[in-house]
């Protein structure tokens, strides 16, 4: 018998109940739906790593969803680590196979997931969400922007694995960094993870379907406009820290048809950025974000 004070015991934190896999499957795995398989594991290193391995070996099909109650080696962009207490957030990966879409348009999939997560969480948690390019999820805590989630996409098998981590119930003393936040700290009306998870996956199904129906055209599907409308990076001075150690400073003026961030630099040129770390130099509340 597991001791009642064991760290992974389902009764060890009554404010953070375990997910109900049966209820999630009943609500999400429907005939004709995108989601075809849903699994919840108690703990793993990284759902992205696990699902990517399944995809490479042919053990995962489109619509596979893998959720962890805890990630011990979660990965963010630029190989940053992502850790949080058990059952304190949403830690999941999905596998998508947009095989009939031109591969040069697949770069929109992680941005699409950002739009889906932001819209789904805004409705279900009642919190104003915004996106920091390319796919950080931001909330307002005490008047300042805080990162409450992130999205990571990577090619695997015949498709792409999209991972998502969202801080839901983290308290101030549990935050991994001063720039981090959580839905609870942002005043969420609900921190029920099953409600939030269903909202995010249904929103992702909607946006992915619209994008595929438009043959991956971000403008025709409404995705490009939706991303721009929710992007907190636009119309701000930013520094793009580029691969290789270079940096570019300018005003973020647009998201182009390839999902790149377009910067207007001091010399009047417009420079698209396809990869890099973005620092907000002038925010709504001032300061660096």
CATH classification at residue 239: 2.30.30.100
180 and 257 housed in the same domain: no
How many Cβ atoms sit within 10 Å of the Cβ of residue 84?
Answer: 23
173 and 250 housed in the same domain: no
What is the domain extent for residue 25?
A: 21-229
What pLDDT is attached to residue 107?
95
What pLDDT is attached to residue 6?
45
62 and 176 housed in the same domain: yes
CATH classification at residue 143: 3.30.930.10
Q: What is the pTM of this model?
A: 0.91
What pLDDT is attached to residue 102?
96
SS3 assignment, position 254:
strand
Sign of CA dihedral 145, 146, 149, 153: positive
75 and 162 housed in the same domain: yes
What pLDDT is attached to residue 74?
60
139 and 101 housed in the same domain: yes
State how far the alpha carbon of 237 is from the alpha carbons of 226, 228, 241, 286, 287, in Å: 21, 16, 13, 11, 11
- The rounded distance, in Å, linking the Cα atoms of 21 and 39 is 7
Per the domain annotation, does 15 fall within a domain? Answer: no
132 and 163 housed in the same domain: yes
168 and 43 housed in the same domain: yes
Which residue carries 């009764």 as its tokens? 11
The angle formed by the CA atoms of residues 39, 136 and 147, to the nearest 5 degrees, is 100
Mean per-residue pLDDT pooled into runs of 10, the chain (289 residues): 46 80 97 97 96 97 98 65 85 96 96 98 97 97 96 96 97 93 98 98 98 98 98 97 93 97 94 94 48
103 and 175 housed in the same domain: yes
From the CA atom positions of the chain, what is the Rg in Å? 19
Instruction: Name the domain count of the chain.
Output: 2
259 and 138 housed in the same domain: no
269 and 213 housed in the same domain: no
127 and 238 housed in the same domain: no
């Amino acid at each position: 018998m597991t001791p009642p004070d064991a760290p992974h015991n389902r009764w060890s934190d009554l404010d953070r109940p375990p997910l109900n896999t049966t209820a999630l499957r009943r609500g999400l795995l429907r005939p004709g739906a995108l989601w075809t398989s849903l699994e919840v594991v108690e703990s793993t290193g990284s759902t992205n790593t696990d699902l990517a391995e399944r995809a490479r070996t042919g053990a995962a099909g489109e619509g596979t969803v893998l959720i962890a109650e805890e990630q011990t080696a979660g990965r963010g962009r630029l190989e940053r680590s992502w850790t949080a207490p058990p059952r304190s957030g949403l830690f999941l990966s999905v596998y998508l196979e947009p095989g009939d879409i031109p591969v040069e348009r697949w770069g929109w999939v992680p941005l699409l997931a950002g739009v889906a997560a932001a819209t789904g969480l805004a409705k279900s948690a009642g919190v104003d969400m915004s996106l920091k390019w390319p796919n950080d999820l931001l909330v307002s805590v005490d008047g300042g922007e805080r990162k409450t989630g992130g999205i990571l996409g990577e090619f695997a098998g015949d498709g792409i694995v999209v991972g998502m981590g969202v801080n839901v119930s983290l308290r101030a003393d549990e935050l991994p960094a001063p720039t981090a936040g959580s839905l609870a700290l942002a005043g969420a009306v609900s921190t029920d993870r099953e409600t939030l998870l269903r909202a995010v996956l249904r929103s992702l199904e909607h946006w992915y379907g619209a994008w595929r129906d438009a043959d991956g055209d971000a403008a025709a599907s409404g995705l490009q406009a939706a991303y721009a409308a929710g992007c907190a990076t636009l119309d701000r001075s930013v520094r793009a820290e580029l691969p290789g150690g270079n940096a570019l400073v300018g005003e973020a003026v647009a998201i182009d048809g390839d999902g790149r961030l377009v910067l207007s630099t001091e010399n009047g040129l417009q420079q698209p950025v396809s990869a890099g770390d973005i620092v907000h130099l002038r925010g709504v509340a001032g300061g660096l974000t």
